[in-house]
Copies of this chain bind each other. A is one copy, B any other.
Amino acid sequence: MNKTENKIYIVGMGPGAEDMMTGQAIKALEVSDIIIGYTVYIQLLGEKFQNKELLSTPMRKEKERCKLCFEKAQAGKTVAMVCSGDAGIYGLASLMYEIGTDYPDVALEVIPGITAANSGAAVLGAPLNHDFCTISLSDLLTPWETIEKRLLAAAEGDFVIALYNPSSHKRKDYLARACEILLRVLEPERPCGYVENIGRDETKATVCRLDELKDAQVNMFTTVFIGDRGTEIIDGKLVTKRGYQIER
């Protein structure tokens, strides 16, 4: 990986701890002149990359942040835009490609990262070890009817489900609502789990039944897992069997 003019690396930082970044992601930051991201991440990176220009925009100013990347890259700089997890999974990668049509001289490259589904699953055991889907419960950008339709489709298709954004200050009851929808199709005993603050010192993992998950205290840093019919709790870990394991 080389320093290249008019280039933006869209970098997935993983869940937070530096040793959960890939070598490629670290290299992309090293070859960049400017690192741009959400304020909290920029502060975290500031200690390691003090020789870089570090720029940030607050939450909800995503379009402005994307445009800032393109303005800097068009001026000849190598830019790294950082997102938590994987920039291509509930991150800003697609918005960057859209806005990029206005900046044909700027090249984009996505550097994948460990998303919360993967890192949370590793903490819980192996819940995603067969076909799974991810659903965000945030209705800021998606109508609730679509979210409800997807929850039902996922349950009817017997997918393991990883829920992103299960709660926020304004949406305290969304996980309970999602559980009630799933309980129309799935049994109350279905094994579930959730992980808070993945990849940080205070990581906390809990396994439970679907009817208990309804009352779980979660926040915007929690990732929630609902098992498929082959999921079991083994020695406190949430484990989804692959096909031949179910048939044994």
Contact = CB atoms under 8 A, between A and B. Distances in A.
Interface of A: 12, 14, 17-24, 26-27, 86-91, 93-98, 100-101, 110-115, 118-119, 121-123, 125-136, 140-143, 146, 149-150, 152-154, 156-159, 234-235, 237, 239-245, 247
Given A88-B118, A114-B112, A157-B157, A241 B125 contact: no
Interface residue SS majority, chain A: mixed
Copies of this chain, count: 2
Contacts of A17: 24
Given A112-B119, A122-B112, A128 B159 contact: no
A65 B153 CA distance: 36
A14 to B, nearest CB: 7
B94 A241 contact: yes
Contacts of A114: 22, 112-114
